[in-house]
Amino acid sequence: MKKLKMGMVGGGIGAFIGEVHRKAARMDGGVEIAAGAFSRDGAKSLEQGRLLGIEPSRSYRSYGEMIRGELALPAGERIDFVSICTPNDSHHAIAKACMEAGFHVMCEKPVTMDSSEAEDLAAVAKKTKRVFGLMHTYTGYPMVKLARDMVAAGDLGGIRKVVVQYPQGWLYKKEGPDNKQAAWRTDPKRSGRAGCMGDIGVHAANLAEFTTGLKIKEVLADLTTFVKGRRLDDDGNVLFHMEKGAKGVLTASQISPGEENDLHIWVYGEKKAFAWYQENPNYLRVFDQEAPEQVWKRGNGYVAAKSPSAARCTRTPTGHPEAFIEAVANHYRNFCDTIRAFAEKRRPTALELDFPGIADGVRGMKFIEAVCDSSERGGVWTKV
Amino acid sequence: MKKLKMGMVGGGIGAFIGEVHRKAARMDGGVEIAAGAFSRDGAKSLEQGRLLGIEPSRSYRSYGEMIRGELALPAGERIDFVSICTPNDSHHAIAKACMEAGFHVMCEKPVTMDSSEAEDLAAVAKKTKRVFGLMHTYTGYPMVKLARDMVAAGDLGGIRKVVVQYPQGWLYKKEGPDNKQAAWRTDPKRSGRAGCMGDIGVHAANLAEFTTGLKIKEVLADLTTFVKGRRLDDDGNVLFHMEKGAKGVLTASQISPGEENDLHIWVYGEKKAFAWYQENPNYLRVFDQEAPEQVWKRGNGYVAAKSPSAARCTRTPTGHPEAFIEAVANHYRNFCDTIRAFAEKRRPTALELDFPGIADGVRGMKFIEAVCDSSERGGVWTKV
Amino acid sequence: MKKLKMGMVGGGIGAFIGEVHRKAARMDGGVEIAAGAFSRDGAKSLEQGRLLGIEPSRSYRSYGEMIRGELALPAGERIDFVSICTPNDSHHAIAKACMEAGFHVMCEKPVTMDSSEAEDLAAVAKKTKRVFGLMHTYTGYPMVKLARDMVAAGDLGGIRKVVVQYPQGWLYKKEGPDNKQAAWRTDPKRSGRAGCMGDIGVHAANLAEFTTGLKIKEVLADLTTFVKGRRLDDDGNVLFHMEKGAKGVLTASQISPGEENDLHIWVYGEKKAFAWYQENPNYLRVFDQEAPEQVWKRGNGYVAAKSPSAARCTRTPTGHPEAFIEAVANHYRNFCDTIRAFAEKRRPTALELDFPGIADGVRGMKFIEAVCDSSERGGVWTKV
Amino acid sequence: MKKLKMGMVGGGIGAFIGEVHRKAARMDGGVEIAAGAFSRDGAKSLEQGRLLGIEPSRSYRSYGEMIRGELALPAGERIDFVSICTPNDSHHAIAKACMEAGFHVMCEKPVTMDSSEAEDLAAVAKKTKRVFGLMHTYTGYPMVKLARDMVAAGDLGGIRKVVVQYPQGWLYKKEGPDNKQAAWRTDPKRSGRAGCMGDIGVHAANLAEFTTGLKIKEVLADLTTFVKGRRLDDDGNVLFHMEKGAKGVLTASQISPGEENDLHIWVYGEKKAFAWYQENPNYLRVFDQEAPEQVWKRGNGYVAAKSPSAARCTRTPTGHPEAFIEAVANHYRNFCDTIRAFAEKRRPTALELDFPGIADGVRGMKFIEAVCDSSERGGVWTKV
């Protein structure tokens, strides 16, 4: 397995998601963190690079500098891809520049500020033939892949109903000035048109589409800003219609005290149903009206038989739980194997290609826009 | 404690809910089943009466006959109240006749076919000064009473958000001709305008209003009939707005395979939140963003200290679970104690009055009508 | 169904288990509480009888007076059976006298003070041909019956291992003088040789034998009195060997703070395993090394197909939970149907006979004696 | 943070635990896998090294060759420590040689074949002043550290009782010849005197001692080989006595079908209790007889306030679960920071020293020996 060299934009000292990306990328031994523009402050970027054991010359002050610096290196030494862990407002420019400079891109979500930016990135990715990965973490969990594969195999019958909840509590009060995570997430200039819906509602929608294989066609939303003085929604309830007559309801919240990251999805088909819960992610509950509930457990042979994709994303035996960082690592692994496949001039397999990309990004932005439109118009059905 | 004499309408052999009412009414020893019009078929009614140990002369062929027969008995022998366990379409006529004849009434829900009937019953109850109980079972659970009392005490702060789910699976296929329960519940002539929403959605709405102390002001609904050939909705998703700015989402379904009676409610306030789950009803989870989750357990001193009403509705010590029939029995007990209070010419206490009545019935019918209106109009906000 | 008349000994005002017996006995409508010797204090017994609506002449001051009083009534009016809800030390005398006077007996556990008393009761029951029921509540749960029937059907293969835990916390501190429940349970003169092991350890042992169909052959025990000044064990750990090579471990405790009535059993066979948890009793988890875990849920057709006995002990549909009082009621129902069968001069069916009796009582006393012997001798294997 | 260079012994292609060690070691970016003797077959070792991106000259055929090869490198290039992931029988020789050659050691458990070997390693570690880490994974979980710190702070009061269960099912049938994991674990020549007790019972004992801060003084064991033809115990039940009067029961099994890695511990004190469950490891339940159960959740401020050690071992925010590999990584991190401290000529902090070492290894071997002795003698109390 060729070790790929990664450059990171963002993820400076004190950032949350950048370090998660690094841990996940490193875990399986296929990625070396070789460069970074961790901060706009050159000294801080250098310090972060030093902590990571990066050569000082490859800790840059900006992504543009990083692109130039890396391109100046011999082909075999320069980074293979860029991991973008900055706030939303800069994703488009960075991703575009990186791809045009020849680098593949793994990007945090939401992918951009709006759908036109996302579509532009899709065009750039296509034109430059670069691999674009989008970190919709939750589809990296093996049991989510199993759920998708069960539905695709027809085990549930035609899908009728989806219920997805994503409550968090961390913004239940007005964030203080020192809450760096909250600051940009509640600033429309940096986060985009939606707050809670952009930060986590889009994950919930992505999960609904991923597991059912059905697209959300239209939404009707009721978004609210509960905390006074906040500029973006911090809570929302959404009705939705999917392809093939499936219907659903999605609720996301960041003002639900004591909820941590309680993403929960239930999918009901004509024959069976499943439920999955992110905070205890190694289990998939399968319901049947005529038989006992089944609890499918990660790492078993019967899981592998139903879902090679879940089996591939399994590191430890049953009962030795895997969790969030491993889910992120699964996306990195498939993303990297796809890059390797191209490097080897071969077509990536379906298993390798099993990671979210720019198409998910475009869908996500359109979902956000439709949800905001619907809510602003007082709650009317709005096409995605 | 004076033993009250109960007459039942409905609840013949093979019926589900009538026998539950009887078990619940009997459990605490304060009710004697003394008469009944269990079936329109006189022989069947007689047989049911015989099984119940009722004097043959008091097994009637109709509620009218029962009223006449009982009134012909000396005052001390005749029934004190009537328990109505028939399908919805007959509730209004029976309840009205019974109250006008001087009997108190405990009625299954939904209370009537529409809100005008319900309002008429409210007027009758007022005029005749009869006690009217409505079997919204779930508010009989002690931990639901605790939740209400916590909210009322301000422990959660102002309520912001309610999520309530009520999935069942038993109608996921077209019901056969032998499914007596399904037959009338899916027949608009007997069930009223709503199917799933009338049968269980109304419970979910009642629970939301009961625990928060807030009324649902307007709804936006998306009802569906998933099973071909069925004449009423078998699934629905509802957005709602409550008093004081609270918002919520309600989903109810009878086509969710493998779900049994999975009523689940989450209520989020400015300070704390709670979650309660009907299938494991002895626990109330309380969430706090700054402290560990608490699991309040039925039967403890700390529950009694917070909710005398919950303590009153507790029969067994902690860890010796109480469940559905006990919840029904709690409503019977408070209903009967209220009757006894009136018999004793005293004002019932707040604890005695803690059972659902005709006001809940009116609210329920208006909720159903608003939900149906909203959905028929394609999903618009509709006042309750 | 003939309504049986029950007389109660014990269960006066303030007692816990007597009222549970009454609720359970009444619930299904087959039992009328007709007489009682509720307290040695005649006025108190009369008051309890008055609260229960019993004729004053049938509230007695002692069980002897009750026996004489009832025998003086015409055969059709007198009680059919006696429910004994007194502390352990009086069980033998009361039960013996009642049976010899012609009454059937339902008795609280532990059945007597020692095994010779229990064996004597067995002889009396045999000689007098009276039905003797013993309230080992937990085998009244439908899912426990299902577990037993699964094992008996060979679904688990030969049983290898049993783990049973029964922690409570209510005696974690020295009981005060006002704790009536604690007072007699920790008094060797009233409770017998064992404290915690007699009160709840015996339930755990009974559950292990009931579900596996195997007898405990020998035990090795480590009993402790953790609370200073207490005269009986308040905690114990037991290794045991069963028939056919099965082995197990049992732990019971009344000094485990915060545990309520957390009886939990796991049984492992050569092929499969099950787990059952008393505090959420409507579910039976079934484990298979090669397939997903199954959660069997009370009230379903697949439960009835495997266990007619569980189906018979089911009152409400799936998802409408049944709990502790219903488990007690199940034993009452089967006990009463057995009495009715004898009254009808027919052999009771296996389903009717499915309640614990004096044989369980003898086993329980021998278990307690063996456990105490083993522990007193410093922990040696001791035959049961 | 200085990146440490790791050499691995064992962990060749197809091995389970070696790859887990590598993922964990790599995750946080502080370790570089620089050398290895992955297999006795030189070609296989080379191939594994190639997959890991190791220089071919540093893939060795034996640990002896690795020691020689690394010592031949300049001091700054050679490995800092050795990770030993071979079967038990070789641990002593490898660890001793490595320490004597100047390398620190992280070793899989059980540490050696018997306690004399373990004590010898303790002496070697002391003499050579090398850091010795032992991979008792479960004490790497943050919530286990929290539990220990709660007990140490006196929150539970004096400890009275410990219950620890560790059931697995993977050896419920006779292992086939192709089951590499089973082959050596059931071979006394490679595994030592105990099977199940050595493989997992020792983890359970370690967890009991770690969380309570009390040593197990004596044991009474009942070990069994249920599967015919197997040469070591595959199941065992153990009573134990700890310091300060605490008592406990431990059960471990590898023949419990459907159990995966269900390590569960309950610790009861005079005031409170806790429960922790390895398969859902981000939560610690805390019980109080007088107050609601609390669920402490990883990543919160209230956890950090109680346990700086738990906080230090936390990578992701609340609700973003961490699991098995992260627990291993926590031990690597503290082990490596301790090495760095010595390299920096400073005393490691208590937080850095919070990883299991040779003292745990000696305790573990003595526990195994006492358990085997006790069981072989038919179940007698045996000093540890």
Residues of chain A with C-beta less than 8 angstroms from the C-beta of B269 = 257
Tokens of C100: 């010899």
Which is it for strands A104-107 and A81-85: parallel, antiparallel or unpaired? parallel
Q: How far is CA A41 from CA A90, A91, A191, C281, D110, in A?
A: 16, 18, 21, 60, 49
pLDDT for residue C181? 72
pLDDT for residue A136? 97
Indicate if the pLDDT at residue B181 is higher than 90.
Answer: no
Cross-chain residue pair C253–D268, CB shorter than 8 Å: yes
Rounded to the nearest angstrom, the gap between the alpha carbon of residue C308 and the centroid of all alpha carbons in its chain is: 21
The alpha carbon of residue A52 is apart from the nearest alpha carbon of chain D, in Å, by 7
Q: If you average pLDDT over residues C375-382, what whole number do you get?
A: 97
The residue among A108, A144, C334, C247 whose CA lies nearest residue D251 is C247
Q: Which amino acid is at A220?
A: L
Q: Per residue in D90-117, pLDDT tens? A: 999 999 999 999 999 999 999 999 999 9
Q: How confident is the model at residue D176 (pLDDT cuts 50, 70, 90)?
A: confident
Cross-chain residue pair C247–D235, CB shorter than 8 Å: yes
The residue among D199, D2, D351, D90 whose CA lies nearest residue D105 is D90
Residues of chain B with C-beta less than 8 angstroms from the C-beta of D292 = 286, 294-297, 300, 302
The alpha carbon of residue A70 is apart from the nearest alpha carbon of chain B, in Å, by 45
Cross-chain residue pair C290–A301, CB shorter than 8 Å: yes
**Any A CB within 8 A of B271 CB:** yes
The alpha carbon of residue B246 is apart from the nearest alpha carbon of chain A, in Å, by 9
**Any D CB within 8 A of B279 CB:** no
Indicate if the pLDDT at residue C275 is higher than 80.
Answer: yes
pLDDT for residue D244? 98
Residues of chain A with C-beta less than 8 angstroms from the C-beta of B275 = none
Mean pLDDT of chain B: 96
Strands (E) in A102-158, as ranges, are 104-107, 132-134
DSSP C93-160: HHHHHHHHTT-EEEEPSS-SSSHHHHHHHHHHHHHHT--EEE--GGGGSHHHHHHHHHHHTTTT-SEE
Q: Residues of A numbered 190-249 whose beta carbons fall under 8 angstroms of chain D's beta carbons: which are they? A: none
Cross-chain residue pair C53–B26, CB shorter than 8 Å: no
Tokens of C67: 């026996």
CA torsion sign for B26, C351, C361, D222 is: negative
The alpha carbon of residue D342 is apart from the nearest alpha carbon of chain A, in Å, by 19
Mutation target vs D (from A13, A316, A322, A336; most D CBs, 10 A cutoff): A316
pLDDT for residue D15? 81
Q: DSSP label at B90?
A: G
Compute how many other C-beta atoms are within 10 angstroms of the C-beta atom of residue C244: 12
pLDDT for residue A191? 82
Q: Residues of C numbered 80-109 whose beta carbons fall under 8 angstroms of chain A's beta carbons: which are they? A: none
Mutation target vs A (from D4, D21, D23, D253; most A CBs, 10 A cutoff): D23
Cross-chain residue pair A253–B268, CB shorter than 8 Å: yes
Q: Per residue in C99-121, pLDDT tens? A: 999 999 999 999 999 999 999 99
In whole angstroms, give the CA distance from residue A301 to residue C372. Answer: 47
Q: How confident is the model at residue B135 (pLDDT cuts 50, 70, 90)?
A: very high
**Any B CB within 8 A of D279 CB:** no
Cross-chain residue pair C220–D224, CB shorter than 8 Å: no
**Any A CB within 8 A of D340 CB:** no
**Any A CB within 8 A of C318 CB:** no
Cross-chain residue pair D23–A315, CB shorter than 8 Å: yes
Q: How far is CA D80 from CA A33, D12, D32, D94, D334, in A?
A: 21, 20, 10, 15, 15
List all chains that touch chain D, counting a touch as 3 or more CB pairs closer than 8 Å: A, B, C
**Any D CB within 8 A of B296 CB:** yes
In whole angstroms, give the CA distance from residue A225 to residue A208. Answer: 24
Nearest CB partner across the interface for A27, out of D26, D260, D297: D26
Q: If you average pLDDT over residues C147-152, what whole number do you get?
A: 98
Indicate if the pLDDT at residue C178 is higher than 80.
Answer: no
pLDDT for residue B16? 81
List all chains that touch chain C, counting a touch as 3 or more CB pairs closer than 8 Å: A, B, D
In whole angstroms, give the CA distance from residue A245 to residue B213. Answer: 36
Q: How far is CA A10 from CA A78, B290, D172, in A?
A: 18, 29, 50
pLDDT for residue C15? 81
For chains B and C, CB pairs below 8 A equal 114
Q: If you average pLDDT over residues B190-197, what whole number do you get?
A: 91
Compute how many other C-beta atoms are within 10 angstroms of the C-beta atom of residue A225: 17
Rounded to the nearest angstrom, the gap between the alpha carbon of residue A153 and the centroid of all alpha carbons in its chain is: 24
Starting at the earlier edge strand, list the strands of the sheet with A132-134. A31-37, A4-10, A81-85, A104-107, A132-134
In whole angstroms, give the CA distance from residue A331 to residue A133. Answer: 8
The H or E element spanning position D188 is helix D188-191
The nearest alpha carbon in chain B to A268 belongs to B256
Cross-chain residue pair C321–B323, CB shorter than 8 Å: yes
Q: How far is CA D92 from CA C50, C299, D56, D103, D338, in A?
A: 79, 58, 27, 14, 22
Q: If you average pLDDT over residues B335-358, what whole number do you get?
A: 97
Compute how many other C-beta atoms are within 10 angstroms of the C-beta atom of residue B189: 11
pLDDT for residue A173? 94
Tokens of B161: 């958000």
Q: Which amino acid is at C39?
A: S
Nearest CB partner across the interface for D295, out of B295, B297, B301: B295
pLDDT for residue C139? 98
pLDDT for residue A221? 98
User: For residue C81, what are the β-bridge partners?
Assistant: C6, C104
Tokens of C27: 């619930």
Residues of chain C with C-beta less than 8 angstroms from the C-beta of D175 = none
pLDDT for residue B13? 85
pLDDT for residue B212? 98
Nearest CB partner across the interface for B297, out of D286, D293, D296: D293
Cross-chain residue pair B255–A172, CB shorter than 8 Å: no
Residues of chain B with C-beta less than 8 angstroms from the C-beta of D291 = 302
The nearest alpha carbon in chain B to D291 belongs to B302
Tokens of D343: 């390299």
Q: Per residue in C23-57, pLDDT tens? A: 999 999 999 999 999 998 989 999 999 999 999 99
pLDDT for residue A175? 78
Q: If you average pLDDT over residues D29-42, what whole number do you get?
A: 94
Residues of chain A with C-beta less than 8 angstroms from the C-beta of B261 = none
- Identify whether the C-beta of residue B349 lies closer than 8 Å to the C-beta of residue B17: no
The residue among A319, C33, B142 whose CA lies nearest residue D260 is A319
pLDDT for residue B45? 92
Which is it for strands C264-269 and C247-253: parallel, antiparallel or unpaired? unpaired
Residues of chain D with C-beta less than 8 angstroms from the C-beta of A259 = 319
**Any C CB within 8 A of B319 CB:** yes
Indicate if the pLDDT at residue B140 is higher than 80.
Answer: yes
**Any C CB within 8 A of A297 CB:** yes
Q: Per residue in C200-227, pLDDT tens? A: 999 999 999 999 999 999 999 999 999 9
In whole angstroms, give the CA distance from residue B236 to residue B253. Answer: 6
Q: If you average pLDDT over residues B359-371, what whole number do you get?
A: 97
Mutation target vs C (from B50, B326, B330; most C CBs, 10 A cutoff): B326
Q: Per residue in B52-83, pLDDT tens? A: 989 999 999 999 999 999 999 999 999 999 99
Residues of chain B with C-beta less than 8 angstroms from the C-beta of C29 = 22-23, 26, 33, 52-53
ipTM of the shown complex? 0.96
The alpha carbon of residue A155 is apart from the nearest alpha carbon of chain C, in Å, by 15
Higher pLDDT among residues D177 and A119, named by residue: A119
Mean pLDDT of chain C: 96
Nearest CB partner across the interface for C294, out of A290, A292, A302: A292
* Per-residue model confidence as pLDDT tens for chain A (384 residues): 789 999 999 999 888 889 999 999 999 999 999 999 999 898 999 999 999 999 999 999 999 999 999 999 999 999 999 999 999 999 999 999 999 999 999 999 999 999 999 999 999 999 999 999 999 999 999 999 999 999 999 999 999 999 999 999 999 998 777 777 777 778 888 888 999 999 999 999 999 999 999 999 999 999 999 999 999 999 999 999 999 999 999 999 999 999 999 999 999 999 999 999 999 999 999 999 999 999 999 999 999 999 999 999 999 999 999 999 999 999 999 999 999 999 999 999 999 999 999 999 999 999 999 999 999 999 999 999
Cross-chain residue pair C29–B53, CB shorter than 8 Å: yes
Backbone angles phi, psi at D254, to 5 degrees: -120, 15
Collapsed DSSP state (helix, strand, coil) of residue D111 = coil
User: For residue D236, what are the β-bridge partners?
Assistant: D223, D252
pLDDT for residue B186? 80
Compute how many other C-beta atoms are within 10 angstroms of the C-beta atom of residue C213: 14
Mean pLDDT of chain D: 96
DSSP D281-321: TTEEEEEETTEEEEEEETT-HHHHHH-HHHHHT--S-TTS-
Cis amide linkage into residue C167, ω under 30° from 0: no
Residues of chain D with C-beta less than 8 angstroms from the C-beta of A26 = 26-29
* Residues near B284 by beta carbon (within 8 Å), at least 6 away in sequence: B143, B146, B147, B274, B275, B276, B295, B296
**Any D CB within 8 A of B378 CB:** no
Structural domains of chain C, ranges and CATH numbers in brackets:
4-137+332-356 (3.40.50.720), 139-318+363-376 (3.30.360.10)
- First-to-last alpha carbon distance for chain D, in angstroms, is 41
